[in-house]
Amino acid sequence: MSQQNRLIAGRYELRDQIGAGAMGVVWRAGDLKLERVVAVKELLLPSHFDAQAVQQARRRAQREARIAARLHHPNAITVHDVVEQDGQPWLIMEYLPSQSLAAILAERGPLPVGDAVRIGKHMADALAAAHKASVVHRDVKPGNVLLGAEGTVKITDFGISRALDDTTATATGHYAGTPAFFAPEVARGQEAGYPSDVFSLGATLYNAVEGVPPFGITDNSIAQLYRAAAGTIRPPERAGALTPLLARLLDLDPRARPTMAEAAEALDVLARSTAPTPTLVVDLRDQLTSSFTLPPRSPSHEQRSRRRAAAGLAVALVVLIAVVSGAFYYANVAKRSEASTPPPSSSSSAPPKSTSAKPPVTAPLVVESSGKCLDVPGKATENGTAVTIFDCNGGDNQLWTPTAAGELRVYNGAKCLDARLAGTEPGTSVDIHDCNGGANQKWALNADRSITGKQSGLCLDVLASGTDYGTPVVLWTCAGGTNQRWSHR
Ligand SMILES: Nc1ncnc2c1ncn2[C@@H]1O[C@H](COP(=O)(O)OP(=O)(O)OP(=O)(O)O)[C@@H](O)[C@H]1O
Ligand SMILES: [Mg+2]
């Protein structure tokens, strides 16, 4: 049976499968309560587990997930929740549109040393924070390093291999984790600890620059374990300035390895001394293009009431669009608004002062590809909240006011649409921020209904032509698609 649209714990609606590994299947899902996109991982318990082992594994999964949920770091995927559905543990995590480092390496081959050093630095920062909080990752490997837009690096799956570990490993020969990146002492059966995470960080960086893990790769996992246990590492050939640090991270003696905090510092020094390389551009379009073709869903109660509210609002909006005009008013919208109704008072929402002779229009921005609205998810008001699309509901988190200064203000004028970190690259995400007059907060609403960042010249774009609620909005090269055409009405 297809799992698409299945509701987990009465709250998380599975949308599309974004990956699968040895320990589970990962879904992009909608959190219907907080109205945001999340990643959901169904933890698959090994088939040889008996009832008692299943019980133990469930308890361990809960415990490990709770521990991981305590970790909050910009380079770690946040664990929001762990729930049970049909007897299986499900992990609810932050969703990052991304490609894993493993996928990038498979696609493009080894990375330049500068890129590996930068990725390694972010990984080590997150892992050092985890170690400080007494969390051992236990499965550091390229598949668990997610690379997003704008050079974002986040590690996922903290502690998960422990949750699914087989306590009878020695008896059955089963283990959780990935032997190609195991420290030799772990391959020999010792408990994973902080130094083994350090080794696995080294193995991941070795893989990134050399194209193969330190002990090579074989399809036979037992042979792979033996290789790791024997600890014969082929000296790196392409690691350049990273070579001496790799040797320390990959020391066969766990006690001789640096701590994760020391590794982070060493990688920071290297990152400053190696010639800056352009940020690795991760193509999120390829990854997501096929992800948004879902059959129509039957509306949930919540959605139905939202729609009713939206329908009521639509009437109000028709009145609104009938009377207002301004510098950013689209021609096609104007045609529909010939009815005469007195102009609404815009002072109730206290929009910013405009130097334009015409009053500013406060209205939703509706994208043509899906008819959904530019939305600040969950009505979050913090700086840096990335905007997405969502069913139009008339909330003040969906009402945008263009100002004469070129800003697009939301929340009754309190926040501005902002190209994140002043990014000018395709893929730059768009968020809300205190209005500060920055060039990255200036937008042009054009006659062809595109909205361009005045600083980047790029178009406001619904990622990968997504039509699903929660799809991120980014800056992208203007291509005239319906996912780049917005109506302000
Ligand atoms: N939080 C997330 N946000 C977005 N994508 C994710 C997230 N977590 C995982 N993914 C995607 O799902 C893929 C599969 O993840 P998963 O952890 O199941 O596999 P794996 O790491 O290759 O194997 P393992 O089961 O050993 O961890 C990842 O490579 C990544 O592309
Ligand atoms: Mg994983």
Residue pLDDT, tens place only, 183-222? 999 888 888 899 999 999 999 999 999 999 998 776 666 7
Whats the size of the chain, residue-wise? 489
Which of 100, 155, 164, 174 gets mutated to test ligand 1 (max ligand atoms within 8 A of its CB)?
100
Residue pLDDT, tens place only, 230-266? 777 889 999 999 999 999 999 999 999 999 999 999 9
- Ligand 2 centroid to Cα of residue 108, in Å, is 20
The pLDDT of residue 164 is 53
The pLDDT of residue 347 is 36
Is 278 part of a structural domain of the chain? no
d(CA 94, CA 37): 8
Is 171 part of a structural domain of the chain? no
d(CA 44, CA 203): 26
Instruction: Give the pLDDT band of residue 281 (cuts 50, 70, 90).
Output: confident
Query: Residue with the nearest Cα to atom 13 of ligand 1?
Result: 19
| Of 70, 94, 118, the domain-final residue | 94
Which of 107, 146, 155, 283 gets mutated to test ligand 1 (max ligand atoms within 8 A of its CB)?
146
Do 52 and 126 reside in the same domain of the chain? no
Instruction: Give the pLDDT band of residue 465 (cuts 50, 70, 90).
Output: confident
Query: Residue with the nearest Cα to atom 24 of ligand 1?
Result: 21
DSSP annotation of 182? -
Cα–Cα nearest to 304, from 393, 178, 171: 393
Q: Is position 41 annotated in a ligand binding site?
A: yes
Is 279 part of a structural domain of the chain? no
The beta strand positions in 324-476, using DSSP E, are 365-367, 373-375, 388-390, 401-402, 408-410, 415-419, 430-434, 443-445, 451-453, 459-462, 473-476
Is the pLDDT higher at 353 or at 137? Answer: 137
Do 90 and 103 reside in the same domain of the chain? no
DSSP annotation of 300? P
- Ligand 1 centroid to Cα of residue 100, in Å, is 7
Active site residue 125: no
User: Any idea which residue has 């990335």 for tokens?
Assistant: 386
Do 342 and 246 reside in the same domain of the chain? no
The pLDDT of residue 275 is 62
Structure tokens at 45: 């318990």
Is 172's pLDDT higher than 50? no
Is 479 part of a structural domain of the chain? yes
List Cβ<8 Å contacts ≥24 apart for 341-344: 344/319, 344/320
| Of 60, 94, 128, the domain-final residue | 94
Task: Out of 115, 139, 165, 391, pick the active-site residue.
Answer: 139
Give the chain's mean pLDDT.
78
For residues 130 and 136, is the Cβ–Cβ distance under 8 A?
Answer: yes
Range of the domain at 418: 296-488
The pLDDT of residue 13 is 94
- Ligand 1 centroid to Cα of residue 144, in Å, is 6
Determine which of 81-85, 272-276, 438-442 has the lowest per-residue pLDDT on average: 272-276
- Tell me the β-bridge partners of 373: 366, 390
- Ligand 1 centroid to Cα of residue 213, in Å, is 19
Query: Residue with the nearest Cα to atom 20 of ligand 1?
Result: 21
Is 287 part of a structural domain of the chain? no
Do 77 and 113 reside in the same domain of the chain? no
The ligand 1 atom at the shortest distance from the C-alpha of residue 141 is 21
User: Residue 465 is part of a domain; what is its CATH number?
Assistant: 2.80.10.50
Cα–Cα nearest to 474, from 282, 333, 296: 282
Do 451 and 464 reside in the same domain of the chain? yes
Instruction: Give the pLDDT band of residue 124 (cuts 50, 70, 90).
Output: very high
Residue pLDDT, tens place only, 75-115? 999 999 999 888 888 999 999 999 999 999 999 999 999 99
Highest mean pLDDT among 8-12, 176-180, 482-486: 8-12
Count CB neighbours of 343 within 10 A. Answer: 11
Query: Residue with the nearest Cα to atom 5 of ligand 1?
Result: 96
Structure tokens at 224: 């792979």
% of the chain residues with pLDDT over 90: 36
The ligand 1 atom at the shortest distance from the C-alpha of residue 287 is 31
Do 441 and 472 reside in the same domain of the chain? yes
Mean predicted confidence (pLDDT) in 140-151: 92
User: Any idea which residue has 């062809």 for tokens?
Assistant: 448
Do 450 and 340 reside in the same domain of the chain? yes
Do 103 and 89 reside in the same domain of the chain? no
Is 281 part of a structural domain of the chain? no
Number of compact structural domains in the chain:
3
User: Residue 69 is part of a domain; what is its CATH number?
Assistant: 3.30.200.20
d(CA 144, CA 174): 20
Is the pLDDT higher at 483 or at 304? Answer: 483
**Ligand showing the shortest atom-to-Cα distance for residue 177:** 1
Residue pLDDT, tens place only, 349-387? 343 343 334 456 888 899 988 888 898 887 778 777 888
Four-CA torsion 119, 123, 125, 129, nearest 10 degrees: 170
Is 489's pLDDT higher than 70? yes
Helix (H, G, I), strand (E, B) or coil at 175: coil
The beta strand positions in 353-472, using DSSP E, are 365-367, 373-375, 388-390, 401-402, 408-410, 415-419, 430-434, 443-445, 451-453, 459-462
Is 384 part of a structural domain of the chain? yes
**Ligand showing the shortest atom-to-Cα distance for residue 17:** 1
Is 57's pLDDT higher than 60? yes
Give helix 260-273 / helix 113-132 axis angle, nearest 10°.
Answer: 150
Instruction: Give the pLDDT band of residue 474 (cuts 50, 70, 90).
Output: confident
- Cβ density class 354-392: b for 16+ within 10 Å, e for less: beeeebbbbbbbbbebbebbbbbbeebeeeebbbbbbbb
The pLDDT of residue 88 is 82
Do 125 and 159 reside in the same domain of the chain? yes
Structure tokens at 189: 């059966």
Is 87 part of a structural domain of the chain? yes
Is the pLDDT higher at 21 or at 169? Answer: 21
The pLDDT of residue 105 is 95
| Of 44, 61, 94, the domain-final residue | 94
The ligand 1 atom at the shortest distance from the C-alpha of residue 95 is 3
The residues lining ligand 1, judged by C-beta closer than 6 Å to any ligand atom, are 18-24, 26, 39, 77, 93-96, 98, 100, 143-144, 146, 156-157, 178
Is 442's pLDDT higher than 80? yes
Determine which of 278-292, 308-322, 397-411 has the lowest per-residue pLDDT on average: 308-322
Query: Residue with the nearest Cα to atom 27 of ligand 1?
Result: 21
Count CB neighbours of 435 within 10 A. Answer: 19
State the alpha helices, DSSP H only, in 231-300.
Answer: 243-249, 260-273, 284-288
The pLDDT of residue 254 is 95
d(CA 257, CA 67): 25
The pLDDT of residue 309 is 45
- Ligand 2 centroid to Cα of residue 337, in Å, is 52
User: Residue 123 is part of a domain; what is its CATH number?
Assistant: 1.10.510.10
Structure tokens at 221: 């996992």
Residue pLDDT, tens place only, 309-349? 444 443 333 333 333 332 322 233 233 333 333 333 333 33
Burial status of residue 1 (CB atoms within 10 A of its CB: 0-12, 13-18, 19 or more): exposed
Do 118 and 142 reside in the same domain of the chain? yes
**Ligand showing the shortest atom-to-Cα distance for residue 142:** 1
Structure tokens at 293: 């073709």
Phi and psi at residue 160, in whole multiples of 5°?
-70, -35
Do 429 and 316 reside in the same domain of the chain? yes
Do 41 and 184 reside in the same domain of the chain? no
